[in-house]
Amino acid sequence: MTEKISLILFSGSMDKLMAGSIIASGAVANGMDVDIFTTFWSLMQFKKSGAPKPTLSAEAGNMADMVMKTMKEKKVPSWLDTLKQISEIGNVNVYGCAMFADLMGIKKEDLDPIVKDVIGVSQFVDMAKDSKMTLFL
């Protein structure tokens, strides 16, 4: 059976989403499947419209503006583009959290098409239990 990594994306901070997409890339490079469960603030960032403006984690502090500017200048691909790129190479599945989606009235159609389905936590945990690694970001 193919090895798998499971990521639970909670934070909507752009740096954490980038970390998640880069770790997912590393997994794909190692021939692993990737399952992603997006909830709370990360789910908001998968919205096709009305997503909050992406910002860095609070710990970026007064470096935030400089880092954002540098990333723009150096044309660093967005975390979402990275996820899309690796989903063409490997088996990457993104699932939205049904609880938060229901709470906020978000439908599957409101989310980027990379989100395959909106599922409950129990189903995701069942899928994740055979993973080699599970990370919460």
Partner 1 sequence: MAEIKPTKVIDARGSFCPGPLMEMIKAYKQGKIGDVISVYSSDSGTKKDAPEWIKKSGNELIGVFDRNGYFEIMMRKTK
17 scored as a contact of partner 1 (CB under 8 A): no
- Site residues for partner 1, 46-75, by CB under 8 A, read 74-75
- Shortest Å distance, C-beta 133 to partner 1: 17
- For 1, 98, 122, the CA distances from 5, given in Å and listed in that order, are 13, 21, 17
- Residue 86, exposed/middle/buried by CB under 10 A (0-12, 13-18, 19+)? buried
Q: What is the smallest separation between the CB atom of 25 and partner 1, expressed in angstroms?
A: 4
Q: Which residue has the tokens 């395959």?
A: 116
According to the binding rule CB under 8 A, does residue 28 interact with partner 1?
A: yes
| Contact positions vs partner 1 (CB under 8 A) | 22, 25-26, 28-31, 74-77, 82, 85-86, 88-89
